[in-house]
A and B are shown apart, each in its own frame.
Chain A
Amino acid sequence: MDGYFPLIIGAILVNNFVLTRFLGICPFLGVSKRLDTAIGMSGAVLFVLTLACAVTTALSRFFLVPLKIQFMQTIVFILVIAALVQLVEVLMQRFAPPLYKALGIYLPLITTNCAVLGAAVLSTKNNYTVMKATVFGAASAIGFALALVLFASLREKLELAQVPKCMQGTAIALVTAGLLAMVFMGFAGLGG
């Protein structure tokens, strides 16, 4: 278990994907209007990110590196992620149609979500083992979920707040996101 604890804490809090690395901002702002869609999106990202990290790291370690075709990394990773998103989409449309409708375009957009590709690229760059990469992927997704759920709750509260007219909607949401990011900066130096 050596090194896993700092890895998990690091991925969830210290190097939180959304609030410290600023990856995956699009769904962060897009689906955070309501808490239930945010939780659904978090579930989808958790599934895609964990599997994507596992599969891409395995591919990279066992095919790309031995065959000396690391330059194919991006295209191979995107292919894997796109396939995984397609799977999530099919399953969600069957088993949770309301969630499928609520997520709308943001679900297929996970394909090009920089958080997912970012986690895959980071795990190859840091030379993680497949096991470690899977844990890293899951922890990153939990970090994404944490940020998304926190932000969605804040935005639900903002709906009831009296916001000046010029700041309503996206403007106040961006200010809130900035404050939230500053809070997460406070975790710097904790764990790995």
Chain B
Amino acid sequence: MPAVILLLVMGLVLGLVIGIVVKLFGAEVDPRLEEVEEALPGSNCGACGFAGCAAFAEALVTGKSDNPGMCTSCDEQTVGKLAGLLGLTATMQTPMVAVVRCSGDNDKARRGGLYNGVSDCGHASLVAGGAKACLHGCLGLGTCARACPVDAIEMTPAGLAVVHPDICTGCGKCVRTCPRKLIILAPKSAQVHVLCNSPEKGAAKRDACTVSCIGCRKCVKEAGDDHMAMDGFLARVNYDNPPSSAEIAAVCPTKCLQPSLIAEAPAPHEDEQQEVVNA
């Protein structure tokens, strides 16, 4: 019993002392800070260039950053709300998604060795460049998937990282983790992607992987120089001016030029969704 009373009295006295000190000396916290922090997604992806959502909120409130649109995970509504709250003008960023520029999973790419080490791409690439014959492809150990703050990267059963563009917020965290520098941020609106990043000659690539870009230039001829270009033995989509239609992917003999997943399975239109609800 005395123990309980002692703790109660102590709690009251100490609480009172702290309360008085806070009232007298407490630092004033901007009330908007909490509101801003609440509105931000809280995934701490770092796309805004700050350490996390809390740091970004503070930068916005203290004026270190003047564009809430830097947050790639916020939709337009949220950014508008933040801009209104802080009296700033927001400019939205072009919506970006991560693209893994490799489609050579374990069925399509030849194996060059057996890797039994730590299940991490960084480690695997240190050991004679990993298990695949192609030294530029996806290692398939999921380092990028683990880094993704919104779980947008799926590791396929055949060992390939695939980004779900509908979930991806384009923060670029995975870009920095890939030891092969395979992942890039591409505009969400781009319809096709070249899913190969090997600078080797066509024959060598063909030998290592059935879905490599063999540098045949068919796509460049079909799309025109403005939309696609050759980079050594590799065709690249010009993301400043990407091909307008995904149909161009059909010309690729190795199926390395692939329509983006959004172009392949577009989100159902609103009226269609309505119909589903009604049915």
Contact = CB atoms under 8 A, between A and B. Distances in A.
Contact of A79 (B2, B7, B27): B7
Given A79-B7, A90-B26, A93-B27, A67 B2 contact: yes
B6 A91 contact: no
Contacts of B26: 90, 93-94
A79 B22 contact: no
A1 interface: no
A83 interface: yes
B7 A76 contact: yes
Contacts of B22: 90
B251 interface: no
A80 B9 CA distance: 12
Given A79-B11, A93-B27, A86 B6 contact: no
Contact of A69 (B3, B17, B25): B3
Contacts of A86: 18
Nearest to B29: A93
B7 A90 contact: no
B10 A94 contact: no
Contact of B14 (A64, A79, A93, A95): A79
B21 interface: yes
A71 B11 CA distance: 18
Contacts of A97: 27
Interface in B1-41: 2-3, 6-7, 10-11, 14-15, 17-18, 21-22, 25-27
A87 B21 contact: yes
B3 A83 contact: no
A76 B10 contact: yes
Given A93-B27, A94-B26, A97-B27, A79 B21 contact: no
Nearest to B22: A90
Nearest to B25: A94
Nearest to B5: A67
A76 B25 contact: no
- A interface SS class: helix
Contact of A63 (B6, B17, B18, B21): B6
A169 B26 CA distance: 37
Contacts of A76: 6-7, 10
Given A90-B26, A93-B27, A94-B25, A72 B18 contact: no
Nearest to A100: B27
A75 interface: yes
A80 B14 CA distance: 8
A69 B2 contact: yes
A95 B11 CA distance: 26
A72 B26 CA distance: 31
Contacts of B27: 90, 93-94, 97
30 contacts: A59-B10, A64-B6, A67-B2, A67-B6, A69-B2, A71-B3, A72-B3, A72-B7, A76-B7, A76-B10, A79-B7, A79-B10, A79-B11, A80-B10, A80-B14, A83-B14, A83-B17, A83-B18, A87-B17, A90-B18, A90-B21, A90-B22, A90-B26, A90-B27, A91-B21, A91-B25, A93-B26, A94-B26, A94-B27, A95-B25
Given A64-B6, A72-B7, A90-B26, 6 more contacts: A67-B6, A72-B3, A79-B7, A87-B21, A91-B25, A97-B27
Interface of B: 2-3, 6-7, 10-11, 14-15, 17-18, 21-22, 25-27
